[in-house]
């Protein structure tokens, strides 16, 4: 059975979760698409309270009829999740150019009054981009670390590659970097763990920064 992709839906208020459910129930095509996904929701208040989600494959922002001023008031939320490599924005107002200049020139922006249609476009776009990046970028980056082809990255491989890239680590730093990525605590980083880190925008799970590991990108 194929693994369900994980989508994070970001909105200004918790009402966005209700809007998503309403759109799904009213559109059979969207309902069918959501059967292939696992969804989580977050919003500004939850983010302000310290809620950070780091288990997703792509992000969809439901901006609705918010203005640029509205978005800027919650900019920290949108900046945080727009760092992910696969995102889409669903908007009603004419803000595509502003979003691309503010967050990413490559942002996929869908302007529509029909939320269900916008979400269908966003899911299809993100699913395709996810598959492209996984095959072309993630596997390649992982192979650079997995120098012996074992299917897992150990501490020595991590330390050696870091040295080759000009980011030499101490023993303690190499151990810390490995622990940061090793989610099941088996002493190595497998492709699944590496992929999860990659698609969340290389964000830390334990509060530490991963600037060194970005060199393998």
Domain that holds residue 193: 146-216
**120 and 13 both lie in a single domain:** yes
CATH of residue 20's domain is 3.40.50.2300
Q: Where are the alpha helices (DSSP H) in the chain?
A: 15-26, 28-34, 44-48, 68-73, 75-82, 96-102, 115-133, 139-145, 155-164, 171-181, 191-199
Residue 45 lies in a domain: yes
- The more confidently predicted of residues 183 and 103 is 103
Residue 141 lies in a domain: no
pLDDT at 112 > cutoff 80: yes
**12 and 106 both lie in a single domain:** yes
pLDDT at 216 > cutoff 70: no
Backbone angles phi, psi at 75, to 5 degrees: -55, -35
Among the three residues 135, 157, 177, which one is the final residue of a domain in this structure? 135
The predicted structure's pLDDT at residue 20:
95
Among the three residues 104, 135, 166, which one is the final residue of a domain in this structure? 135
Q: What percent of the chain has a predicted confidence (pLDDT) above 90?
A: 56
Distances (CA, A) of 149 to 140, 168, 213: 12, 22, 19
Average pLDDT over residues 124-147: 90
The predicted structure's pLDDT at residue 55:
83
* Best-predicted range by mean pLDDT (76-90, 140-154, 170-184): 76-90
Report how many domains make up the chain: 2
pLDDT at 158 > cutoff 80: no
**78 and 176 both lie in a single domain:** no
- The more confidently predicted of residues 145 and 211 is 145
**131 and 163 both lie in a single domain:** no
Average pLDDT over residues 144-167: 81
Among the three residues 73, 103, 135, which one is the final residue of a domain in this structure? 135
pLDDT at 9 > cutoff 60: yes
**53 and 109 both lie in a single domain:** yes
**17 and 62 both lie in a single domain:** yes
Average pLDDT, the chain: 86
């Amino acid at each position: 059975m194929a693994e369900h992709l994980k989508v994070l839906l970001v909105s200004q208020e918790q009402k966005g979760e209700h809007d998503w459910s309403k759109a799904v129930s009213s559109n059979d095509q969207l309902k069918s698409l959501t059967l292939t996904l696992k969804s989580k929701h977050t919003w500004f208040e939850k983010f302000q309270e310290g809620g950070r989600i780091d288990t997703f494959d792509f992000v969809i922002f439901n901006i609705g009829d918010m203005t640029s001023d509205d978005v800027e008031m919650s900019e920290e939320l949108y900046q945080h999740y727009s760092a992910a490599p696969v995102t889409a924005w669903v908007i009603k107002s004419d803000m595509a150019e502003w979003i691309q200049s503010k967050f990413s020139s490559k942002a996929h922006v869908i302007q529509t009054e029909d939320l269900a249609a916008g979400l269908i476009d966003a899911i299809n776009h993100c699913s395709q981009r996810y598959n492209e990046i996984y095959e072309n970028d993630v596997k390649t980056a992982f192979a650079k670390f997995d120098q012996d082809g074992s299917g897992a990255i150990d501490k020595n491989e991590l330390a050696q590659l870091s040295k080759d890239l000009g980011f030499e680590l101490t023993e303690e730093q190499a151990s810390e970097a490995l622990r940061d990525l090793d989610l099941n605590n088996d002493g190595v980083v497998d492709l699944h763990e590496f992929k999860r880190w990659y698609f969340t925008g290389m964000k830390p799970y334990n509060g530490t920064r991963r600037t060194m590991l970005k060199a393998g990108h």
